[in-house]
Amino acid sequence: MSSATKTLELLSFFSASRPEIGLSQLCRIAGRDKATTYRHLQALEYAGFVEKNPTTRHYRLGPAVLHLAQVREATVPRKAAVQLSLSQLADATGETAHVSVLSGTVVYSLASCESPRHGTRAVIDITTFPLHATATGICALAFGPADLFDVAAAHLDRFTANTPTTPQAVSNLVDNARTTGFGSSNGNYESEVYSLSAPLFDQTELFVGAVTVASVASRFTPDLERKIKRELAKASREITHNWGGTLPTGVEAAWAETLSPLHAMDTTS
Amino acid sequence: MSSATKTLELLSFFSASRPEIGLSQLCRIAGRDKATTYRHLQALEYAGFVEKNPTTRHYRLGPAVLHLAQVREATVPRKAAVQLSLSQLADATGETAHVSVLSGTVVYSLASCESPRHGTRAVIDITTFPLHATATGICALAFGPADLFDVAAAHLDRFTANTPTTPQAVSNLVDNARTTGFGSSNGNYESEVYSLSAPLFDQTELFVGAVTVASVASRFTPDLERKIKRELAKASREITHNWGGTLPTGVEAAWAETLSPLHAMDTTS
DNA sequence: GCGGTGGGTTCATATGCTGAACCGCTGTTT
DNA sequence: AAACAGCGGTTCAGCATATGAACCCACCGC
C-alpha cells in the first residue's frame, strides 16, 4: 500500500456521523502510527482536503472537496453518469430501463434506455411519475420522505383496472416494497407494462431516486422477475456509488432476503 | 514534497475547462515522470478520486469526491462556513457585515454579524434584497447572470431620496461595480445606511452571492471606505475559497486597481 | 512499414517514509 | 500541589518504498 493510498484512506474515515476527528483518534481508527498519520494529515491539509477546527484542533474535511465535486459534476453530470449502468441493465434484462429522481414531491425521469431484444417494449413516455401507480412512485413512497404519502393519497387517479385507488391499497404496495427492497407495478399505470424498481440514495442514505425496469406483461415470468431484481440491485449499487451515495444496510438486507434461493422457492411455488 | 502531496496535486489539474486528462498529458502538465504519475493515478483510482473514461482511457474525477463533498456540506454547511469570516469582517471594520446568496432571481440573506464598536449600527432586517437599491443587489447585477437586470428593471421601487429609479441610473451603479469590483449603496435603501459589497463565486467562476458591510452615513469617511474595501476583498477571497469556488481574475484586477495607492489619491482628492 | 504518439511496465538506485520514543501542554485525579 | 493520563506535535536512525530511464505494445497517419 503506497503512502498516497494510505493518505487518501484517511479521508474515508470522515462521515456525517463522525465529521471531526482528532489526531490520536484517527491513529486508532486507521491503526497507524501517530507520526505517520500526522504527516499524512499535513499533506491533506496543505492540499485543502482537510482543515483544522481552530478551537478543538480536530480535523474535518476541507473546502477542496467542494471544489472537486463541482468539477466532477460539470464533467460527468448525473445524467451522463447513469447511461452506462442503464444500458447494461437494459442489455442484461432485455427490457426497458430508466432512472428517475425525486425533486420536492415530484418524481421525474432523468434518462431511459430501451433494449432491442424484443419487438414489443415498454416505452417511457412520461416525464413525471404518478406516485401511487408506478413502480418508481411506490419506491419513492417506500424509501423517500414520509410526507410524500399524503401527496400521493391526494391524487389517486385511476389509469387501468389494476391501479390502486385507495390509500390502503397503496399502503400495501409500499409495505411490500419496504420488505422486498423493490417497488413494483403489475399494470398499475399501463395495463400491459409490468415494472420493478430499486431505490437510489445519497451519502446520508436519503432517497434521491429510483432505477426501474419496465417489461411487457406477457413475458413477465417468475424467472425474468428474479433476473430483473438481481440486475436492479446491481444497477442501484452502481448508480448510488457513482452519485457519491451509500445504500442503507436495511435495503441490502431486504434484497438479500428477496433474492435468496430459499425465498425463490416461495415466489415460484 | 511528499509523495502524498504530489498525488493530491494531480487532482488540482482537473477543471471544468480540462475535465479529462491522459497520462502523457498529465505528465507534461505536472512536469513529472510517467511511471510516477501513473502510480499516483493508480492510487487515486483505487480510492475512487479519479476514474478512467473507458473509451479514451483518459482520467477524470471520480465519484469519491461527490461523496466527500456531501460529508463536508453536512459537516460545515455554507452558513457555518461564513461565520468566522463574517465576525472577523465586522470586527476589523467595526460595522455590520452580512452574506447573501443568489437563488434564481432572488438574493436572500444567509447570515449577518454586527460589531459592538459603535452605539449606532446598521441592522440587516430584510431577508431578500432589492436588486436596484442595495450594494448586494448591485453586486448581483454586475457579476451575476445577465437576465437579472430585466428583473431589477421591472421593480424600481423608490425607498429613499437616493434610490435609483431609472434603468439608466441602475446601469451606472452596475458599471461602477464592474470597474471597481465592489457594489455600493449610499443610502439607496435606507437613507442613513451606506453599504459596500463584494461578490462571491463558485468553482466555475459563476456569481453565487455577496459579502457586504453596512455602515452609518455619518461616519462613512474615505478612510473607512478604503478599509472596508480592503477587508471585503479579504473576506470575499476567504468565503469563496471556503465554498470551493474561485475568484475570476477580472475581479481581482479590479480590486487591485481600486485599492492601489495611486487610486487612493484620486478618491480622496 | 515507419515515425510519432499513446498507455502501461520493469528494475536498480537512493530518497524520503516509517515508528519508537520523545516534548510540552491541559485537564483530572488523588 | 504533585502525579497522572491524554492530547497534538516533533525527532532521528534505519530501511521500506518511491523514483525515473529505458522499455514494450498498440494505434494512427502516411
- Is residue B3's beta carbon less than 7 angstroms from any atom in nucleic acid strand D? yes
Task: Give me Rg for the CA atoms of chain A.
Answer: 22
Contacts of A44 in chain B (CB under 8 A): 4, 8
Taking the stretch 49-108 of protein chain A, residues with Cβ within 7 Å of any atom in nucleic acid chain D are: 52, 57-58
The angle formed by the CA atoms of residues A233, A236 and A240, to the nearest 5 degrees, is 145
The residues in A 175-194 lying below 8 A from B, measured between CB atoms, are none
**The pairing of beta strand B96-103 with beta strand B207-216:** antiparallel
pLDDT tier at A15, thresholds 50, 70, 90: confident
- A60-104 per-position pLDDT tens digit: 998 888 888 888 888 888 888 888 899 999 999 999 999 998 877
- CA distance to partner chain A, nearest, from residue B3 (Å): 6
Is nucleic acid strand C under 7 Å from A57's C-beta?
no
Measured distance CA(B201)–CA(B209) in Å, rounded: 7
- DSSP designation for B134: S
Contact assessment for residue A234 and residue A86, using Cβ atoms and an 8 Å cutoff: no
Cβ contacts of A240 within 8 Å, gap of 6 or more = A200, A201, A246, A247
Per the DSSP assignment, residues forming a β-bridge with A21 are A59
- Scanning chain A, the segments in alpha helix (DSSP H) are 3-11, 23-30, 34-46, 64-75, 78-93, 135-143, 148-153, 167-180, 222-242, 249-259, 261-268
CA atoms within 13 A on the CB side of B228: 28
pLDDT band at A267 (very low <50, low <70, confident <90, very high): very low
In order, the DSSP letters of chain B are: --HHHHHHHHHTT-BTTB--B-HHHHHHHHT--HHHHHHHHHHHHHTTSEEE-TTT--EEE-THHHHHHHHHHHHS-HHHHHHHHHHHHHHHHTSEEEEEEEETTEEEEEEEE--SSSSS------SB--TTTSHHHHHHHHHS-TTHHHHHHT-----STT---SHHHHHHHHHHHHHHS-EEEESSSSTTEEEEEEEEE-TTS-EEEEEEEEEEGGG--HHHHHHHHHHHHHHHHHHHHHTT----HHHHHHHHHHHSHHHHHHHH-
Neighbours of B116 (CB within 10 A): 9
CB contact under 8 A, A66 and B44: no
Our measurement of the distance from residue B187's CA atom to the centroid of its chain's CA atoms, rounded to an integer in Å, reads 23
Residues A213-222 pLDDT 10s: 999 999 999 9
Instruction: Output the pLDDT for position A262.
Output: 67
Phi, psi of A181 (to 5 degrees): 90, 5
Confidence of residue A39 (pLDDT cuts 50, 70, 90): very high
pLDDT at residue A164 in the model: 95
Element (H, E) at B52: strand B50-52
For the record, the C-alpha cell of A221 comes out as 415470468
Average pLDDT over residues A123-129: 81
**Per the CB < 8 Å rule, is B14 touching A63?**
no
* pLDDT reported for residue A263: 59
Residue A30 CB in 7 A reach of strand C? no
Measure Cα distances from B174 to B167, B182, B200, B204 in Å. Answer: 10, 9, 16, 22
Query: How confident is the model at residue B267, as a pLDDT?
Result: 45
Residue A268 has pLDDT above 50, yes or no: no
Q: Which of A199, A180, A217 is nearest to A137 (CA)?
A: A199
> Which of A138, A127, A118, A70 minimizes the C-alpha distance to A224?
A118
Q: Give the position of cell 469519491.
A: B64
Q: What is the pLDDT of residue A269?
A: 35
Chain C: positions less than 7 Å from a protein CB are 5-11, 16-22
- Positions 48-77 of B with beta carbon below 7 A from strand C are 52, 57-58
Any chain A CB within 8 A of the CB of B88? no
Q: Which residues in B lie closer than 8 A to residue A40 (C-beta atoms)?
A: 4
A45 CA → C20 C1’, Å: 25
Residues B95, B214 contacting (CB under 8 angstroms): yes
pLDDT of residue A173: 94
CA of B52 and C1' of D29: distance in angstroms? 26
- Residue B203 CB neighbours (<10 A): 21
Closest CA to A208 of A155, A252, A246: A246
Q: How far apart are CA B255 and CA B229, in angstroms?
A: 8
Alpha-carbon distance of B194 to B186, in angstroms, equals: 5
Predicted local confidence at residue B263, as pLDDT:
59
- Stated as kind and residue range, the H or E segment containing B89 is helix B78-93
**Domains by residue range for chain A, with CATH:** 3-63 (1.10.10.10), 76-268 (3.30.450.40)
B11 touches chain A (CB under 8 A): yes
pLDDT at B268: 41
Tell me which chain A residues have a C-beta less than 8 angstroms from the C-beta of B7.
4, 7-8
Of B43, B73, B202, the CB nearest to A5: B43
pLDDT per position as a tens digit, A146-188: 888 888 988 888 999 999 999 999 999 999 999 999 999 999 9
Q: Residue B32 CB closer than 7 angstroms to strand D?
A: yes
Q: Cβ of residue B38 near strand C, that is under 7 Å?
A: yes
Cα–Cα dist B206/B201, whole Å: 5
Q: Residues 6 or more apart from A178 whose CB is under 8 A from it? A: A142, A143, A254
Contact B63 A15 (CB under 8 A): no
Q: Are A172 and A180 in contact (CB under 8 A)?
A: no
Shortest Cα–Cα distance, B46 to chain A (Å): 8
Minimal C-alpha gap between B222 and chain A (Å): 34
Task: Tell me the mean pLDDT per 10 residues along chain B, length 269.
Answer: 90 89 92 92 92 87 88 84 89 92 78 86 82 93 87 87 92 93 93 93 85 93 92 92 86 91 52
CB contact under 8 A, A44 and B4: yes
